[in-house]
Structure 1
Amino acid sequence: MSDASEEGRFFHGTKADLRAGDLLTAGFRSNYRPEIVMNHVYFTALVAGAGLAAELAAGDGAPRVYVVEPTGAFEDDPNVTDKKFPGNPTRSFRSSDPVRVVDEVTDWPRLTPEALRAWRERLAVLRADQRGEIIN
């Protein structure tokens, strides 16, 4: 795995209630294709991107955004980099190593109910026609 050349704060969005020091690990179902067990933990350098992931995450908990730090090598997320957004403008990454929770972000930008509904509708279409392929 090649290291991405990104430094700075990283964020992870989820509905899990986590604490500083908790480790996020691979091996859980995808929020976007639940039939797939993920081989990586995904994170971003954009708090709004983590907020979107938190809003769309599976589960009934409240959406949460955490500051995280990778514990090992990580790479650009091939599900968006060069496949959908050349050059990684989404600043999305993944690691097969655990990612440690550092802190919770409480003031991240929230989606409007209309925007959230539109995202969920787009994901439903992708799931239904299999265009939402995940590079795992």
Structure 2
Amino acid sequence: MTVSDAGDEGPFFHGTRVDLQVGEFLSAGFRSNYRPEIVMNHIYFTALPDGAGLAAELAAGGGDPRVYVVEPTGAFEDDPNVTDKKFPGNPTRSYRSREPLRIVGEVADWRRQTPESLQAWRDRLAAIRSDERGEIIN
């Protein structure tokens, strides 16, 4: 595993609606789940399985939400979209990398959001999208 300046040794997780297998890779270059007009230069992940679960439930696509255990294959940094911009420090333990993430497992027992909680998150994201300050640091 690659250790980064971020100082977090994991384990790390990524949430998505894509059905993947151990050994496959996740990479940058896809549209943002939060601003679909933006193609992302980084792949995002967290050290919190429930955070990855929330991302999976909010992700675009029609598949079931999934949380994968991932291993960075290169350097990574704190996600500037939440670190210091929205939360002091990095309490969400959220990171990003330009290098792929290798799938090393899948988590089955992450905490699912209630329908009401998911709607509140969707409403919050819609408000961010309509606000100029909701810009994604890509």
Taking structure 2 as the reference length, what is the TM-score of the superposition?
0.95
Q: What's the offset of the Cα at 1:41?
A: 0.4
Q: What root-mean-square deviation, in Å, do the aligned CA atoms of Structure 1 and Structure 2 show?
A: 1.0
- Tell me by how many angstroms 1:3 deviates: 2.6
Corresponding residue number in structure 1 for 2:5: 3
Q: Tell me which residue corresponds to 2:29.
A: 27
Partner SS, residue 131 of structure 1 = helix
Give every structure 1 segment of 4 or more consecutive aligned residues whose post-TM-superposition deviation is greater than 6 Å: none
Q: Please list every run of 5 or more consecutive structure 2 residues that lacks an aligned counterpart in the other structure.
A: none
Shift of 1:87: 1.0
Alignment of 1:90-101 (within 5 A): 90-101=92-103
Please show how residues 64-75 of structure 1 align to structure 2 within 5 Å.
64-75=66-77
Aligned 1:1-136 pairs, distance under 5 A: 3-136=5-138
Taking only the aligned residue pairs, the percentage that are identical comes to: 77
1:60 is displaced (CA, Å) by 0.8
d(CA) in 1 for partners of 2:110, 2:5? 27
Cα distance in 2, alignment partners of residues 24 and 120 from structure 1:
24
The separation in 1 between residues aligned to 2:10 and 2:94, in whole angstroms, is: 13
Note the residue ranges of structure 1 that are not aligned, 5 or more in a row: none
Distance in 1, Cα, partners of 2:75 & 2:14: 16
TM-fit CA distance, 1:131: 3.1
User: 1:122 Cα deviation (Å)?
Assistant: 0.9
**Per-residue deviation, 1:112:** 0.3
CA distance, structure 2, for counterparts of residue 13 and residue 31 of structure 1: 11
How many residue pairs match? The answer is 135
